[in-house]
């Protein structure tokens, strides 16, 4: 089985998921899939500048489900979203399991 440049085990689960979505959303363009792949990759690598470049000028981030009013979380613009990600990363780094 070809590895498609992802090593011996094949693509990471996120990429495999994106590929599977084409079965259910055939109108999803290759560009959209590549953008989603790039978003996941930069998010996972904590590359905030690259991530900011992927987001549109009118980008907003909101928590779901809306039935729970976004779990009390505010709707965030690009900078607020990036600041939130940085804070979450710090929380994760400081989390100590013993």
Is the pLDDT confidence value at 68 over 60? yes
Q: State the pLDDT at residue 12.
A: 57
Is the pLDDT confidence value at 29 over 80? no
Tell which wins on pLDDT, 92 or 13.
Answer: 92
Contacts of 45 (CB under 8 A, 6+ apart): none
Q: Produce one character per residue of 47-77: b if its CB has 16 or more CB atoms within 10 Å, e if not.
A: ebeebeebbeeeeebeeeeeeeeeeeeeebe
The domains of the chain are located at 1-54, 58-98
Query: pLDDT tens digits, residue range 78-87?
Result: 999 999 899 8
| C-alpha span between 33 and 19 (Å, rounded) | 8
């Amino acid at each position: 089985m070809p590895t498609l440049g992802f090593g011996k085990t094949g693509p990471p689960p996120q990429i495999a998921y994106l590929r599977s979505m084409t079965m259910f959303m055939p109108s999803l363009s290759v560009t959209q899939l590549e953008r989603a792949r790039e978003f996941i990759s930069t998010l996972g690598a904590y590359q905030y500048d690259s991530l900011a470049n992927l987001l549109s000028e009118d980008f907003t981030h909101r928590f779901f489900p809306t039935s729970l009013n976004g779990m009390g979380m505010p709707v965030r613009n690009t900078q607020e979203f990036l600041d939130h990600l940085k804070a979450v990363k710090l929380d994760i780094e400081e989390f100590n399991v013993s």
